[in-house]
Amino acid sequence: MKIIMLGAPGAGKGTYAKQITQKYDIPAISTGDIFRENIKAGTELGKKAKGYMDAGNLVPDELVCDLVVDRLQQEDCKNGYILDGFPRTIPQAEALTEALKKQDDGIDFALEINMADEAIVERMAGRRVCEKCGATYHIVNIPPKKEGICDECGGNIILRDDDAPETVKKRLEVYHEQTAPLIEYYKNLGLLSVIDGSKGLEQCVADISAVLESK
Ligand code: AP5
């Protein structure tokens, strides 16, 4: 099962990708997480990506496409995967389609998590992440068991660098300009399903499962 998660920043892609991973035992590949890990490790890729991310812009396509295509060759992807945050531009989507076509392969589902911008801004204000393992929480909707401490690894829970309100606004603008056209791209390929992301976590996960089990 090969799945793409589409949706604005903060729509819930990472949260649902994690649930799907657990349910269907396929890896979730988040380009945002890959960049954050590289920033933390001080790699060349991380140094190049940081400026773009902190400003709320996309990292250039040439730094992203090969990285993802290579990642999909790894053993854990042989039964499928969830792509969270990739593709994000039409050239990225075309590069992915072409790379998969060469292997006589293709994406099975493109799930758009649909949320109004105002609701996203509200949600993002409450988002916190673990600085150690990257697990995501929401201070009201999905809080950790112990305030400020990650349930999974005991790390500290912090505000993400690019979650400052001004940066969120910029990320939403970039989403509408550069990423939203992918909705039409995957609709034309007959792969798109739209999930109403304004519902609670359990209902959204149930709606996603219903789509994945419909084929
Ligand atoms: P990335 O890390 O991919 O960020 P994003 O797409 O902006 O998405 P987020 O991680 O912010 O949100 P999400 O949709 O995963 O929501 P979440 O599950 O956390 O990318 C970061 C940056 O990296 C980009 O800006 C760009 O610079 C660069 N980048 C990455 N990929 C790239 C690419 N392919 N090309 C170029 N550049 C790239 O949920 C949000 C909050 O809501 C959480 O607090 C969560 O707990 C809560 N929540 C979720 N669902 C529910 C629910 N149903 N009810 C209540 N609360 C909920």
Residues 74-112: tens digit of each pLDDT: 999 999 999 999 999 999 999 999 999 999 999 999 999
Cβ atoms < 10 Å from Cβ of 133: 11
Reading the block at residue 53, the tokens are 């991310």
Q: Annotated catalytic, 215?
A: no
pLDDT confidence of residue 128: 95
Atom of ligand 1 nearest to the CA of 33: 2
pLDDT confidence of residue 171: 96
Atom of ligand 1 nearest to the CA of 84: 3
pLDDT confidence of residue 32: 95
Determine the Cα–Cα distance for residues 68 and 58; give it in Å rounded to an integer.
15
**Predicted confidence (pLDDT) per residue in 118-169, tens digit:** 999 989 999 999 999 999 999 998 999 999 999 999 999 999 989 998 999 9
Would you say 15 and 142 are in contact if contact means Cβ atoms under 8 Å apart?
Answer: yes
Q: Annotated catalytic, 36?
A: no
Q: Average pLDDT of the chain?
A: 95
Q: Is the CB of 81 under 6 A from ligand 1?
A: no
Atom of ligand 1 nearest to the CA of 171: 25
Q: What's the average model confidence in pLDDT over 182-190?
A: 98
**pTM of the model as a whole:** 0.93
Residue labelled with tokens 């993802």: 68
| φ, ψ dihedrals at 107, nearest 5° | -75, 145
**Predicted confidence (pLDDT) per residue in 9-64, tens digit:** 999 999 999 999 999 999 999 999 999 999 999 999 999 999 999 999 999 999 99
pLDDT confidence of residue 215: 80
Reading the block at residue 200, the tokens are 């609670």
Per-residue DSSP letter, 64: H
Distance of CA 173 to the CA centre of its chain: 17
Task: Give 189 Cα–ligand 1 centroid separation in angstroms.
Answer: 24
Q: Which of 2, 50, 88, 123 is catalytic?
A: 88
Q: Is the CB of 5 under 6 A from ligand 1?
A: no
Q: Which of 36, 50, 128, 171 is catalytic?
A: 171
